[in-house]
Amino acid sequence: MKRINPEFTSELKASSVGHFVNGKTVSVSEDTQDIYNPADGKVLRTVAMGTAQTVEMAIDVAEKAFPAWRQLPPSKRSRVMFQFKTLLEENSKRLARVISEEHGKVLDDAMGEVQRGIENVEYACGAPELLKGQHSKNAGPAIDSWVEFQPLGVVAGITPFNFPAMVPMWMFPIALACGNTFILKPSERDPSAPMLLAELLTEAGLPDGVFNVVNGGKEAVDALLSDARIEAVSFVGSTPIAEYVYKLGTSNGKRVQALGGAKNHAVVMPDADIDTAINALMGAAFGSAGERCMAISVAVTVGSETADCLVSGLKERLANIRVGPGCSENVDMGPLVTNEHRDKVVGYVDMGVQEGAVLVVDGRNLEVEGHESGFFLGACLFDHVSSDMHIYRDEIFGPVLCIVRVDTLQDAMELIDQHEYGNGTCIFTRDGEAARYFTDHIQVGMVGVNVALPVPVASHSFGGWKRSLFGDLAAYGPDGVRFYTHRKTITQRWPSSVNGEGIRFAFPSND
Ligand code: NAD
């Protein structure tokens, strides 16, 4: 095992984040972009904005590394993943701190993100089992047939700011375990955690060139989507970019999975345990300042009594929500990622008021003492929201929860089904029949019953429906294995005394 940079946190104090190519950090003379500490609004460091040439350099390296990595027995690739998992556990607090520093989320939340990422690495450790394929003895007379899972080649991942460690780990552990080489293009807003992951992978024994990170924005993405040597692209981010990546990537002949935005509804039934629902909604709507693709941003209350109880309970709890720097103790909610994003979310809150929704809790004037220049926004709660309002239709991606009042479960389900997004949803109820009807019929990819954030575990796969996912296969788990492999079916017969056959023009069959 080679220890390349045990003091990587000190390296993070460096003023610029470069790229990670061929097993080491490289800097190229390029434009840079500022990375902020959202808790105080100051520039922490800058990130290199990779050009088409930088991407080409990474693809060259990944292409060269592919043949040897592909040939390695899956058990040996799996051993690298086991070692990587150990290193992730040893370094989880450091990773969480880096995530919190650049993203703004609270440390507990960042630790949760790292842990969910590790679970994907654990799944990838099962490569020998996952890649066993399928075998049919005597598929025909003296004929055996089997299906092999073969790697694609060089694949790429393009990831969003909101889970700088976990979302890359939805992708590369399984892609690498399947025998591919990988180029990651992380979000330019918080690139340091992915760079640390690259260092840990190298420390875990991953051969140079198998995993590379190119930082940057649109130019780097376009270069990945255009280069014929990239076989497949996994994307996670907003819907407009997901659609763009899907269209451009597939038109260039690549396999693409592009996960997009969301507007996740929680249905609260009259028989729900209302305290459980309120507590769950507090975390699901305001955790990570609402910057989660599975965040609940709409609570659909069935019956006016349910609505009144929910609104008063949320209002009471929101009075005690602790907003502050993510790296501090005893904080529930950190700042938003950038000032522009904060302004955008505030713009939505203003719009909601203009459109006639009732702003029950207004977080717009919140100031965090000693952090006046931070990108903070207090929690906002809207009641009496209707489906024609922008605050209902659009993904806001901030600490804003909308209450939509309806009369029946059927009304709630129609509302959800008519929304353009179909990522996650949940129902709070004690009624098994209602829950079963809901899970059976709702047009959404990930559904919870009394579980507000039904994020699938690593042995299942993550993916929404409708405009929340472009492509056929979801992220990680069994779909991940399928996405990152070709299935090849081999049909074999060896000459023997029993299977001699003359010329036969009929289609082969077992008749
Ligand atoms: P984003 O779409 O702005 O950026 C995602 C990635 O695309 C980044 O790497 C970015 O550099 C790149 N990118 C941005 N603009 C581009 C352009 N014009 N051309 C090419 N590439 C471009 O998303 P974000 O703001 O970083 O993340 C938040 C969004 O991600 C939300 O919409 C959220 O719902 C979504 N998200 C979805 C899931 C999911 O699983 N469905 C998970 C996490 C986040």
Residue 455 lies in a domain: no
Cβ–Cβ < 8 Å for 96, 9: no
Q: Are residues 388 and 435 in the same domain?
A: yes
Candidate of 236, 337, 425 to mutate for ligand 1, largest count of ligand atoms within 8 Å of Cβ: 236
AA letter at 83? Q
CA–centroid distance, 466 to ligand 1, in Å, is: 17
Measured in residues, the chain has a length of 511
Residues 256 and 268 in one domain: no
Q: Which one is predicted more confidently, 164 or 12?
A: 164
d(CA 100, CA 507): 62
Q: Which residues contact 25 (CB under 8 A, 6 or more apart)?
A: 11, 18, 19, 195, 199
Considering only CA atoms, which residue is closest to atom 9 of ligand 1?
187
| pLDDT for the residue 497 | 67
Helix residue ranges per DSSP H, 178-296: 192-203, 218-226, 239-251, 274-286
| Residue 4 pLDDT class (50, 70, 90 cuts) | very low
Same domain, residue pair 248 and 366: no
- Verify that 19 and 68 share a domain, yes or no: yes
My answer on whether 292 and 372 are in the same domain is yes
- In the prediction, which pLDDT does 2 show? 42
Q: Is pLDDT at 508 greater than 50 in this prediction?
A: yes
- Which residue has its alpha carbon closest to ligand 1 atom 24? 160
Residue 433: strand, helix, or coil: helix
Q: CATH no. for residue 184?
A: 3.40.605.10
CATH number of the domain encompassing residue 378: 3.40.309.10
- Of the residues 449, 478, 504, which one is the last residue of a structural domain? 449
Cα 158 to ligand 1 centroid, rounded to whole Å: 8
133 CA distance to ligand 1 centroid (A)?
34
User: Mutation test of ligand 1: which of 163, 187, 375 has the most ligand atoms closer than 8 Å to its C-beta?
Assistant: 187
Supply the pLDDT for residue 510.
81
Residue 310 CB partners (closer than 8 Å, separation 6+): 268, 274, 277, 278, 281, 299, 301, 403
Distance CA 228, CA 281 (A): 45
Tens digit of each residue's pLDDT (9 = 90 or more) over 257-313: 999 999 999 999 999 999 999 999 999 999 999 999 999 999 999 999 999 999 999
Ligand 1 atom nearest 158 alpha carbon: 9
Average pLDDT, stretch 230-246?
98
358 and 248 housed in the same domain: no
Overall average pLDDT of the 384-398 stretch: 98
Q: Choose, from 178, 293, 309, 402, the residue flagged as catalytic.
A: 293
pTM: 0.95
> Annotated catalytic, 380?
no
Nearest CA to ligand 1 atom 36: 237
Adjacency order of strands within the sheet including 469-470: 24-26, 19-21, 211-213, 181-185, 154-158, 230-236, 255-259, 469-470
Residue 279: give the domain boundaries: 264-449
- Atom of ligand 1 at shortest range from CA of 187: 9
> Is 503 part of a structural domain of the chain?
no
How far apart CA 349 and CA 363 sit, in angstroms, is: 9
Q: Are residues 473 and 418 in the same domain?
A: no
Atom of ligand 1 at shortest distance to CA of 245? 20
Q: Which of these three, 449, 479, 506, is where a domain ends? A: 449
Total number of domains constituting the chain:
2
Query: Which residue's C-alpha comes closest to atom 21 of ligand 1?
Result: 218
Same domain, 231 and 302: no
CA of 241 to the centre of ligand 1 (A): 7
In a domain, residue 330? The reply is: yes
Q: Whose CA is nearest to atom 35 of ligand 1?
A: 237
Asked whether residue 372 carries a pLDDT value surpassing 70, the answer given is yes
Radius of gyration of the chain (CA): 25
Is residue 346 pLDDT above 90, yes or no? yes
83 and 169 co-located in one domain: yes
Residue 360 lies in a domain: yes
Q: How far is the CA of 265 from the centre of ligand 1 (A)?
A: 21
Separation of CA 230 from chain center: 21
Q: Are residues 59 and 195 in the same domain?
A: yes
Nearest CA to ligand 1 atom 17: 218
pLDDT at residue 10 in the model: 39
Which protein residues are within 6 Å of ligand 1, measured from CB?
Answer: 158-163, 167, 185, 187-188, 217-218, 221, 236-238, 241, 259-262, 293, 395, 397, 423, 464, 468
Q: Is residue 26 part of a domain?
A: yes
Domain match, 137 and 242 both? yes
Pocket residue to mutate for ligand 1, from 49, 238, 400, 453, most atoms within 8 A of Cβ:
238
Give the closest residue (by CA) to ligand 1 atom 42.
293
Same domain, 230 and 328: no
Residue 505 resides in a domain: no
* Probe target for ligand 1 pocket from 241, 336, 341, 344, with the most ligand atoms within 8 Å of CB: 241
> Is the pLDDT confidence value at 18 over 60?
yes
Condensed to tens digits (0 to 9), the pLDDT of residues 63-99 reads 999 999 999 999 999 999 999 999 999 999 999 999 9
Distance from Cα 467 to the centre of ligand 1, integer Å:
14
d(CA 300, CA 429): 12
Contacts of 125 (CB under 8 A, 6+ apart): 78, 81, 82, 85, 177
Structure tokens at 187: 């979000």
Last residue of a domain, one of 417, 449, 481: 449
Mean pLDDT for the chain?
95
In this structure, is residue 421 part of a structural domain? yes
Cα dist from 431 to 149, 272, 445, whole Å: 43, 8, 22
Distance 106 CA to ligand 1 centre (A): 21
Establish if 364 belongs to a structural domain.
yes
